[in-house]
Amino acid sequence: MTEIAQTNVVGRDTRKLTSLFEIIGSVLAMVYALSIALNVGAEMLGFSLLLVSSALFAGWAILDRRWTFLLLQVFYATSAIIGLIRWA
């Protein structure tokens, strides 16, 4: 396999992975927001979803080399951990 062909395959695989991270992370973030906003006692579930969502978005940020976005995900993960500790 030539170097260009290998780069295209790696790029395609990375794009599929980032799309998967983006979609799942977004859905989890929406469920997190609703679980907190509805105030139905699902705070632990909500903050757990936020933590998973931020991990997926962090993976996307690393693959795409978006360092500021990665920093934002560290903030969200920290918020999730604080929420989990406070609501435990």
Q: What pLDDT, in 10s, does the model give residues 32-78?
A: 999 999 999 999 999 999 999 999 999 999 999 999 999 999 999 99
Q: How confident is the model at residue 3 (pLDDT cuts 50, 70, 90)?
A: low
pLDDT at 13 (0 to 100): 80
Q: pTM of the full predicted structure? A: 0.84
Ramachandran region of residue 39, left (φ > 0), alpha (ψ -120 to 50) or beta? Answer: left
Alpha carbon 8 to its chain's center: 25
DSSP symbol at 40 = S
pLDDT at 5 (0 to 100): 47
- Domain ranges (residues) in the chain: 3-87
